[in-house]
Every structure is written in C-alpha cells, then in structure tokens.
Structure 1
Amino acid sequence: MQKEYSLRRARVANELKRSAGLVFAGNADAHLESSWRPHAHFEYLTGITNESGAVLLLDPAHSVASRREILLLPARDPEKEQWDGLRQSIGSALRNETGFATIMRTSALPMLLKDVASRVKRFSTLMPTAGVGEEISKDLAIWNDVCLRTPGCEILDSTNTIPTLRSVKSQIEIAVIQEAVDMTASGFARAMRFVTPGVNEYKVQATLEHEYAMAGGRGSAFPPIVGGGLNSTVLHYKENDQDLVEGDLVCIDSGAFHSGYGADISRTIPVSGKFTKRQKEIYEIVLRAEEASIRAVKPGVTLSELDAVARKIITKAGFGDYFIHSIGHHLGLETHDTCGPIGPLKKGAVITIEPGIYLPEEAIGVRIEDDIAVTEKGYKNLSRAIPKSVSAIEEAMRGQ
C-alpha cells in the first residue's frame, strides 16, 4: 500500500505546484483514544491511523527531493504510551514502514514553516473549510499566522483537491470496499435467519456485528440501525432497544468496517418471515425505484439525475411525499464520503443507491440500499449477493 499512498501524495503535490500545504491527523480525546481515527484526508495520504497529532507537510517546490514531503509526529511520552500503547522511535524502521524519507517531530514545524515562507510565499489550504461560526481550519489559521510575518505571501484555496481525488477510488480501494460488503453480506444472511417475533432490535445488531468480526471485519462502519414497526420509519433511528413484533417490518441499515473502509447496506424484512399484501406493495415500489436508479448509473450521470429516476417511480405510485431523503451518497473512508463539488460521476466512484418510503401512520418504513461502483460503461453492484427481492428475502429468512 505504500506505493498507493505515495501516488496519492504525488497527485496532491502536482496540484499544489509551487505552493505548500498541510494536512492534519487531528487529536484524540484522552478518554476516547482506543476509538480514535485520524482525519480521512490524513489517512488517505499516509495510511497512518495510530498517530494522534501528526502532521503532513507537502512542499513540492523544495530543491531537495527528500524534503518535499515531511511527516511530523508528536514527541514520545513513556507515561502516555504505557496507557495507550507503544510508539516507534524515528529511525530507518519507521521510515520503511511509513514510506517517508523524512520524519521529524511536530516541534520542528515552526522552523519548517519559516523555511517554506522564505522560499515560496504561496500556501494552499487543504483541510475542509469551516462553516460560519465554527473555528477556522487549522491549516488556514497557520497560514494566516505565517502571512502576518511574511510580506508578499498569498493563501490559495485548494480545499477541493483531496476530496476530488477521493471521489475516484483506485482498484485497491474498490477491492477493500468489496471485502467490507462481503462481510456485511455474512451479517445480513445471519440476521435474516435470526429475526423472529420477540427478538430485541439490539440482539439483531449484535448478530450483525458478531458476523462482521468473524468474517474479518473490525466492527461496524457506523452504528447499525435496526428499526422494527414504527421505528422503521425513523431514518436515523439509534436506540435499537425494542422487541420485534409479529406482522411488522424491520429496516436494517448497517455495514462492516474493514481496513479503513466501510459498507453501507439497507434491507427491509418482515418480522414474521413473510410480507403482508400491503408491505409487499410498498416494498416492490421501492425496489422498482432502486433497480431503475441502479440501471441508470454510468460515468457522466449525477446523483441528482439518479434521484430523479427513483423519485419519478415513487411519485407516480402516489408516495412522492414519503420519499423524504436523497437517493444516496459517495462511500469510502467515510460512510458519507467527502468527495468535493457535486458533479457528474466518474469511473471509479463508489456510491449508495437507497430510495425509501416511510409511512408512520401505518408503521411501515421501507428502505433498500446497495453499494454501487461506477465502471467504464456502467456500474457494478457490489452488494448484489445480499437477498433483495420479496421471494429471496423470504427464502433467506427460512434459511434456504
């Protein structure tokens, strides 16, 4: 993977040209160290996930090749390491492991910035732009500070550079996402056999997550949604604490986490193992909309156009007001992956397609979601192995 990360950094450096940029891993909360993940931009460019406080300096105009990308790590703290785990000293082993020829401590950053300012006087912001009322991004704050001390410098907006690169997945990334989807398929297969009246939603969640782990995953990509009955109509239902009731539907939205990437799949199944006539009616409308939208996926189409395909079918069936969210999102290092300005999809994009109809007055919520990779001429449904038709779901629930 070192070659992959190096290529990504080279692409960013090519966009920066003669300006410098900073990417921050972010800092872990002392009480949440074990669950900490770096900022996705940092992980995308380095693959490093265990160095809270780390910084990447990109300086492509430097005359010395080994100084064009520098990894900066916080100083070692023996007491902290006893609590949170050992860290390596800076040396050849760490350089070989990370693929960085130059690694320094973060205490060297002021000196490095002074050197950059003396040479290029052009700085690019790479971290996401803060919203109104929020604290400005750390790189913009630093470049502002540098410019106060450096006459004639300028700050360039490059905040879309990394998201745009992230919007097109490499073959390696798609393969990892496929593995996460396959792990998710194992979880859904087990959950479909497990669901029965009287089972608590949380036990369904536990079944999913147990299967993810046994298949090689590292937990869930996001907190699973397991909503039965009225809870199936709540898009981001999170309690998962009610017993499933005979005659209800249960909407399951979940995905395994694997090597930094996650799946995101939704299936809606009958608690009793068989859809009622009304449930089947609603379900098959959503299914037609989802499958039509998937068939429309190809390079050049937009998510808005895919949304319109599904929405037209649902609206024609009389349920347009009950499709209350958009068709989907990019998928990658983040479940809702940060992928730059909304525009036409390119080959290599991975998206979700997830229409739904939600009828609280009937306690019927149906969402069907698949993970789709955009190919040269169309698409590949990464989650096609997970039962989706009415008959396939009923068979899966019978263990067939």
Structure 2
Amino acid sequence: MSKKLRIGIAGCGNIADNHFQAYNSVSDVEVVGVCDVDLGRAEQFAAERNIPHAAGSVAGLLDLDIDIISVCTPHPTHEQVVVEAAQRGVHILCEKPIAISSDSARRMTAAAKEAGVKLGVLFQRRFWPAAQKLRDAIDDGRIGQPILGSCSILLHRDSAYYGSAAWRGTWETDGGGVLMTQGIHYIDLLQWYMGDVIEASAQIRTLVFKDEIEVEDVAVATLSFASGAVATVTATTGADPSLGARVHVIGSRGASASVSEFPEGAEGVCDLWAIPGEADHVDLFDKGLGTNIPIAQINAELMPFHRLQVADFVSAVLNDSEPAVTGEEALKSLEIIAAIYESARLGKPVQPRYSSTAATEGAAVVGQRA
C-alpha cells in the first residue's frame, strides 16, 4: 500500500476505546478523527489518544476524507450514521445491534450495497477459538445435523447501569432489554450454529427493574428452525452474581458441545465437548462464583476479539472481500429478537421476517409493545 487507510470513530462512549485500540493494533490503518454530539467529549477522547481531529457531527468526521467509519453511537442513531457514511463512499463497521428495527437495518444494508461499500457488524464472540471450534465440528459432521439447542444468558446489571445513559431501558431508544443489548451476541451464535429460525414463541417480563426500565429483564423463548431443529432461549439481567452465558448444541448423532462465557467478558470456552473420542469438559465454577464484573472491565476483556474482527474488516476492505459478519448476517439475530418480542406481545408464535420480500409497510419497531 502507498498509504494507510484513514479511520474515523463516531461516538465516544464506553465501547469506542475498544475500536480505537483494535485499529491501533492493525497495520495499514490510522485513526485520524472522532466525533460525538458532545464536542467536548470528542475533544477529550482525541486528546487522550493523540488522535489528530475531533468533530461535533458525523458530517464533520466524514469531511476528514476517511476510508472506514466505526459506528459506536446509541442504537437508534445507527441508521443515520451508516446511510450518511455510505452516501459519502465510506466503508462502515457498526456496533451491534445493527439497528432497533428490521426496516431500519434493511435500509442500511441497501444503502451500503447501492454505494458499493462494505458494511460489517460487531459480533466479536464469533472470533473466540471455542466458538469457531464448535462451528467447525458442525461443518465437518462430527456433531451431525443440529437438532436441539439452548441459549442461557444469566447476567447482572444494576440500577446504576440503567441510569448511566438516558437512552438505556426504553423501547424507543434502546430497542429492548436483555435480549437486544446483551443477549443478541449469544442468539447470533445460536443461529450461526443452527440455521434460519422460522418461528418464535416467547414471553418477556420486567420483574427486577420494573420501577426503572420499560424493557424486559427476563425472557423465555422457544425457536423452530428451517431444518426442523428446535431451541430454547432464557435470559435475564437479574442474576446476582452473574452466571455468564452458554450456547449448547446437540446433533443428530447424539454428540453435543457447548460454548460458555464465565465470567462475562472472559474468552469463551468449550465447557462441554461430548463428541466420541474427543470427550472433555470444564468446570466453570471450580473457583467459585466470584463477583459481578464492571462494564468497563467486560469491554476490556473483549478487546482481543474486537482486534480480530476489526482486522478481518480491514482485510475485507483492502482485498475487496466479504467481512465475517455482514449487515445481512447481522440482520438475522435482529429478526429473531423482533419475532420474540412480537410473539410476547401477541401471545402466539411469530415468524421472523428474513426475506426482504416479506417486509410490509408500517412494520413495528423491534420491541414496540403498544
């Protein structure tokens, strides 16, 4: 290369530093600017990291002639940033969830496709070696066709977490609760292993933080897959202490394996590997339950996998290839969560809207329960 790719980061909240550190570890790129609606915060973020420029708007960041923008803004603003960047010919790496409505996400993917730019979405847990080991065991037939799965998300958040930002805990601005903000990572893994979901049946509740948030802090769902397989999802932010998260898959040959994250933010491990001739297991709680991990520490622990996904995205831009998690791929977990919320609202099974031809006018925002 004759020059480095120029990187901009939109939004200077908690996760932005992970993006900065990840780009800093990749050759052939340089973070040249950041932006935030709070210009003072952008200026402080830039000064602390020796980033040359800080702006108070996405337009100001795009004016720096950047090649890639990382979108680290609150969920409902993702569409505006992505579309604006695409129209300026800038490649986009967006934090999860891609959006809070499937229609919004479709507009984002369409804008990127029309502009001929890459759109990737952060699901860094796919880059755990353990997560890829399980995917490989499905692909090479050692597990067989997945027939039964489970996804358990038993995490801890407190009142201070929900009160730390005005957009947290509302349907309009957060898009949902434990499923949308935390659980989407593990639902993404579940569908990556088991395939397309064709039906969801669910119940959601707000039981722990009922005086503080609108969105769910408890959820239970059953999912049916196009293959005929079924799976369950259980999720809460009310566990104290946090018990981490686990995705388990059983195959048609009787073999099974699971990937678990405990404590939250730790690298995932294959805690159960029940495959003939390879059987192994790990006791996640052999050193006790421990204590709840601060959000900043969780983000820091995930840094190595942010680095891997950022490096993958940079490579996709340089080599004109597809990133590991495209906008279309990220839409799948969003569609599943949308179906879960709609099923809970209607009290009956709901089909996810995977196909763009299934989109109808006036589709509800994900999580809307009016």
Per the normalisation by structure 1, the TM-score is 0.25
Structure 1 or 2, whichever has the larger Rg, is 1
Q: Which one has a larger percent strand, Structure 1 or Structure 2?
A: 2
Per the normalisation by structure 2, the TM-score is 0.27
Q: Which has the higher contact order (CA 8 A, sep 6+)?
A: 2
